[in-house]
Amino acid sequence: MQMTMRWYGSKHDTVTLRQIRQTCYATGVISTLYGKMPGELWTPQEINALKAEIEAEGLTLSGIESVNVSDAIKTGGAARDKDIDAYIKTLENLGKADVRLVCYNFMPVFDWTRTELARVRADGSTVLAYSQAAVDKIDPANMFESISGDMNGTVMPGWEPERMAKIKDLFEMYKDTDAEALFANLKYFLDAIMPVCDKYDINMAIHPDDPAWSVFGLPRIITNMENIRRMMKMTDNPHNGVTFCAGSYGTNPDNDLPAMIRALKGRIHFAHVRNLKFNDGRNDFQESAHLSCDGSFDMYEIVKALYDIGFDGPIRPDHGRMIWGEKAMPGYGLYDRALGAAYIRGLWEAVEKQHARKQ
Ligand code: DNO
């Protein structure tokens, strides 16, 4: 595995490449061309400039998160073939630049969803939280307004104000897209892009729906083992794989995370490792420090399962708490993610050495 951290680019991130390098635990970054709209072509010049900037700091560009998939592709709308064509050309340009990992999602309307971006813990740190009872009281049209005050002046991916301004049209666009249609549209997309992925050896890593259930009546399909199996089978190609995001699949306690990792051997191309804590009742949780004893997951078992399946892709700490007075994009400050990277690397080294001693 390679330890990485997500980085939104010098114009958008409060964290610098130098700071990431100085963590010492991360040797690569996962980045994106943040200003690009879904359906827009990424040119070789833009990709090479991003890569050069990262390499100049002694880090590698280990993958893209995300090349976003347009709503026309997700809904099977009129512009889908044009958008798929641009996606294929973008993949080709990434492949030529030696970028071999692309994370994307197939969530309708909202990307990851939280009801609070800064819930205060007893120690004064803040975390992201989700409460179904709160969601049930919100009109989706007001979802953005209800959380935008806590974004610390940053633009959160998937929650761009221009996109949220069109929220009613977006719901309208998805009105005929149920789970079956979403699966069919995903297959259409995957079938179309696999040839270019084969040509350049690009691993596509779908990000799970977060939380792992339907929100505001919108279908969500990448939520559990059964649906991942269906997705991998319908376009049966090793390049059609997953981002194993512990915090997203883990929102549903029925998802046995280490067992899922073992079952996905060979198809996990990217790992997001973080922890969360269930509050009273189902569908109610808040994020926590990465540490096992601070949340509900056994992080040792998660890391061990990744090690045991021979996972050799990029791994990244995921959302951190906001600590030590840092002001950054919720979930994406430097400090707590750096602690997370150190912890995961520590677990990895322990598992690796235990394994070597048993030989
Ligand atoms: C949240 C992220 C997601 C993820 C996208 C992938 O922190 O993990 O926003 O990047 O869903 O397209």
**CATH code of 184's domain:** 3.20.20.150
Write the residue with the smallest CA distance to atom 7 of ligand 1: 319
66 pocket-lining for ligand 1 (C-beta < 6 Å) = yes
pLDDT digits (tens, 9 = 90+) for 263-306: 999 999 999 999 999 998 779 999 999 999 999 999 999 999 99
Residue 144 has pLDDT above 90, yes or no: no
Rounded-to-integer distance, Cα 134 and Cα 137, Å: 5
Q: Which atom of ligand 1 is nearest to the CA of 157?
A: 9
> For the chain, what is the domain count?
1
Write the residue with the smallest CA distance to atom 11 of ligand 1: 105
209 pocket-lining for ligand 1 (C-beta < 6 Å) = no
CA dist 193 → 184, 281, 356 (Å)? 14, 41, 40
Q: For residues 148-166, give the mean pLDDT.
A: 87
With cut-offs at 50, 70 and 90, classify the pLDDT of residue 318: very high
For residue 313, the model assigns a pLDDT of: 98
Pairing of strands 203-207, 284-287: unpaired
pLDDT digits (tens, 9 = 90+) for 180-230: 999 999 999 999 999 999 999 999 999 999 999 999 999 999 999 999 999
Residue 6 has pLDDT above 80, yes or no: yes
13 pocket-lining for ligand 1 (C-beta < 6 Å) = no
Q: For residues 17-36, give the mean pLDDT.
A: 97
Q: Best mutation site among 105, 106, 128, 223 for ligand 1, i.e. most ligand atoms within 8 A of its Cβ?
A: 105
Looking at per-residue pLDDT, the higher value among 223 and 164 belongs to 223
Q: Which atom of ligand 1 is nearest to the CA of 104?
A: 12
Rounded-to-integer distance, Cα 261 and Cα 269, Å: 11
For residue 333, the model assigns a pLDDT of: 98
Q: Which atom of ligand 1 is nearest to the CA of 331?
A: 7
With cut-offs at 50, 70 and 90, classify the pLDDT of residue 82: very high
Other CB atoms closer than 10 Å to residue 200's CB: what's the count?
A: 18
241 pocket-lining for ligand 1 (C-beta < 6 Å) = no
Report cis status (omega within 30 of 0) of the bond before 148. Answer: no
Q: Residue 81: which domain range?
A: 2-357
12 is known as an active-site residue: no
Q: Which atom of ligand 1 is nearest to the CA of 105?
A: 12
User: Given 8, 174, 249, 332, which residue is catalytic?
Assistant: 332
For residue 152, the model assigns a pLDDT of: 87
Specify the pTM.
Answer: 0.97
With cut-offs at 50, 70 and 90, classify the pLDDT of residue 355: very high
Q: How far is the CA of 260 from the centre of ligand 1 (A)?
A: 19
